[in-house]
Amino acid sequence: MRFAFAVLCVTSLCAIPNAKCQTSEVPALRFAAGAVVTFHVQSRLQPDTDDALEGIAQGTAIQVKLLDAIDSTQNHDGSAFRGTLVSSIGSGKAAIHADAEVRGILVLLRSKSHPNGFRYELMVTSINENGQSHPLTASLSSSLFEAASSPVPASGPAASAPQPSRSVD
């Protein structure tokens, strides 16, 4: 009941003319379909010892070619996106190969460094290969606790793909 009341209050504040709704001033996050974006692996909760991603260290950079355009002014918090791995990660039997399917979501996070207290972030939630899903958390920032002021540039041969852009509305 409290949650419903809080949502109603926030919604009504945004509907009042000249009222400043907090999400309207959050820096927009935009990536074109086909952009190659670098994500950083975060700590894994309850990793499966037989999982191909078991040996992936926190902070490992993975490059993903986005299949879907992402625009935080059009897509809402929690919107899903898809992509493919640009290059293999892991090694030997524990490798996940290039072109594996990547799934993720657009999230709105609290941020101490942003004046309004929020920022948008893309989060990888899983990598799927050969019908097997490998849960993973990876974000644009090397740490979820630091502010993401600009996307990490792609490197290597994939850098010639369309580059992501962030803009403030």
**What is the per-residue pLDDT for 115?**
61
Q: Where exactly are the structural domains of the chain?
A: 27-149
**pTM for the full model?**
0.66
Neighbours of 46 (CB within 10 A): 5
Q: Which has more confidence, 149 or 139? A: 139
- Please check the confidence at residue 19 and state whether its pLDDT lies above 60: no
**What is the per-residue pLDDT for 72?**
94
Which whole-number Å values give the CA distances from 41 to 6, 14, 24, 57, 77, in the listed order? 34, 35, 29, 7, 21
Q: Which two tokens stand for residue 80?
A: 């899903």
- 64 within 8 A of 84, measured Cβ to Cβ: yes
Whole-number mean pLDDT of the chain? 74
- Please check the confidence at residue 162 and state whether its pLDDT lies above 90: no
pLDDT digits (tens, 9 = 90+) for 101-134: 999 999 998 877 666 678 889 999 999 998 999 8
List the single range of 11-20, 24-33, 47-56, 105-114 with lowest mean pLDDT: 11-20
Rounded Cα–Cα distance for residues 45 and 48 (Å): 9
Q: What is the mean pLDDT of residues 90-100?
A: 81
- Please check the confidence at residue 25 and state whether its pLDDT lies above 90: no
pLDDT digits (tens, 9 = 90+) for 43-84: 665 555 566 676 678 888 999 999 999 999 999 999 999 999
